[in-house]
Amino acid sequence: MSDKDWALYAQHRTHFTDALVASATREGGRLCVLGAGNCNDLDLERLAETFSEIHLVDIDAKALARAVARQPAAIRPRLVRHAPVDLSGLPARRLGKWKRSPPTVPEVETAAAGALQALLARLPGSFDVVASACVLTQMSFALRTALGEGYPSMDAVRLALMGTHLNTLVGLTGDGGRFLFVTDMVSSNAYPLDNLTPERDLRDLMNEIVASGACYFAANPDIIRRLLLQVGEPELLDPWLWTGPLDRTYFVYAYRVSPS
């Protein structure tokens, strides 16, 4: 991780950290972040003022180790790493088998249920705040790469991945706790996001992006909202723009849910 990466994430880090702090229901609660990686999007020193423990989950153990190593010694003992954890629950072996022979919908559902059970058994639970750090789109891109364009069961497998991830957030959230589903929805590579006027209403823009069909499937807020309604009323936080990696601007939104 370079200082350049840290600087590149500044805009996004401020918004994401603000949303996490604002989601705490008590001082000294426990936070869990899924897809924490290099933690460029988390101001861990600031978060440690609100949360007593911060659990960081990622498939990339080295990224988490680097992120924790660069924190001040005073907060390091309160940062708990969980890696490698594959949050998709879809190991390469299974995807290889599915590529050769596409699964039926019941087979996909059985696999997703098993994946969720294994993930919840692997991680501690009862967190006050749980957050997804733009990891679902990454997992969805990896799925497309593994199964290939035009794969016949792609929608079913992708919906199962989305269900597994949202149910992981629900399953890790303790009584009275909240979770935040934060995701990039599109980049300026696929939708014109540069040169917007400062007064542009980003909620309106979000609807326009969805209507245009440019939104990433796994981040489609209408589908996500429908899935989230099964556990509570999703609250859409103010979306934000972030000019980050690859010299692109990303549209990011967050749903916050208090599971009932």
Smallest gap from residue 88 Cβ to ligand SAM (A): 4
Asked if 163 is part of the footprint of ligand SAM (rule: CB under 6 A), the reply reads: no
Binding segment for ligand SAM (CB under 6 A), chosen from 85-93, 101-109, 145-153, 221-229, is: 85-93
Smallest gap from residue 224 Cβ to ligand SAM (A): 17
Smallest gap from residue 197 Cβ to ligand SAM (A): 28
Smallest gap from residue 145 Cβ to ligand SAM (A): 11
Binding segment for ligand SAM (CB under 6 A), chosen from 37-45, 168-176, 204-212, 218-226, is: 37-45
93/5 Cα distance (integer angstroms): 33
201/108 Cα distance (integer angstroms): 39
Q: Is there a contact between 8 and 245 (Cβ–Cβ < 8 Å)?
A: yes
Q: Is there a contact between 90 and 115 (Cβ–Cβ < 8 Å)?
A: yes
26/89 Cα distance (integer angstroms): 31
Subset of residues 99 to 158 that bind ligand SAM, contact rule: CB under 6 A? 133-135, 138-139, 142
Asked if 58 is part of the footprint of ligand SAM (rule: CB under 6 A), the reply reads: yes
| DSSP letter (8 states) at residue 103 | P
26/228 Cα distance (integer angstroms): 23
Sign of dihedral through CA atoms 77, 51, 13, 143?
Answer: positive
Asked if 41 is part of the footprint of ligand SAM (rule: CB under 6 A), the reply reads: yes
Residues near ligand SAM (CB under 6 A): 9, 35-41, 58-60, 63, 85-88, 133-135, 138-139, 142
